[in-house]
Amino acid sequence: MAFYPDFYLLLLLVFVRIGGVFVAAPFFSLPNIPVRLKVLLALLLAFTVTFTLPPTLPPHAHQAVGFFVYLVVEALTGLLLGFAAQFIFFAVQFAGEVIGFQIGLSLAQVYNPIDGTPSNPLGRLLSMTLLLVFVLVDGHHYVLEALAASFEVVPPAGARLAHGGLLLQEWMRDFFVTALRLAAPFMITIFLVDTALGVFSRVVPQADLFTLSLPLKLMAGLVLTYLIMQTFIPYLPTLLQPVWDDLLQMVDVLRP
């Protein structure tokens, strides 16, 4: 069987789906992991999964155009599964950007290894902490389990991509709600600081508010960060708990 051309065509379809997951899923999409290692791991997983699948190809797979379309479908299927687990990371990162902007840390951008883009130090701290807890609670294993389950439910090139896209749109609301909840204490605190500075400017008109506001907001933000991080880290496993349910829901929605 391993020498049949159909086997290698099926292997390529499986490999593309796994590669799509590795491009979008948390931990696997880290730019720090060498690309060759990702390709090797995806290839090993593809061989393992392909031997468990029925040796049948979707219609028109032997035609060039049809097989190319199937490759695109498999790539998008993997990306949807990866983004299903990545949404909570997007929310935490967005909340970190909002918090950093509020307390003035947006002026000190640093490299974020999670997505390869600049971010403020507080946003990086939250993202790296969430990633660490994600690995500690075996979140990367959940991603692989959901990926393996997807081949049992969704055959190669058989995913309903339109339904998966609609599900991502529904999750956008939860994305903003989660980000707002995380950033709300800082937004309220900085609002009160701005209000106090406004009252102070009316009392002392000659005061330089710009010189006072930046260190005051930064000090208030750092003190609040110290207080919140004591409860934020124990809360992270609860925040990551819906990831497994979201992965299974995405797999079920993609079912043909």
pLDDT of residue 112: 58
pLDDT band at 118 (very low <50, low <70, confident <90, very high): low
Q: What is the mean pLDDT of residues 30-57?
A: 88
SS in 3 state form for the chain?
CCCCHHHHHHHHHHHHHHHHHHHHCCCCCCCCCCHHHHHHHHHHHHHHHHCCCCCCCCCCCCCHHHHHHHHHHHHHHHHHHHHHHHHHHHHHHHHHHHHHHHHCHHHCCEEECCCCEEECHHHHHHHHHHHHHHHHCCHHHHHHHHHHHHHHHCCCCCCCHHHHHHHHHHHHHHHHHHHHHHHHHHHHHHHHHHHHHHHHHHHCCCCCHHHHHHHHHHHHHHHHHHHHHHHHHHHHHHHHCHHHHHHHHHHHHCCC
Give the start-to-end residue ranges of the domains of the chain. Answer: 5-253
Residue 18 has pLDDT above 90, yes or no: yes
What is the pLDDT of the chain when averaged over all its residues? 84
pLDDT of residue 116: 59
Q: Kindly report, residue by residue over 177-194, the tens digit of the pLDDT.
A: 888 888 888 889 888 888
pLDDT of residue 2: 45
Q: What is the pTM of this model?
A: 0.84
Q: Kindly report, residue by residue over 64-85, the tens digit of the pLDDT.
A: 888 899 999 999 999 999 998 8
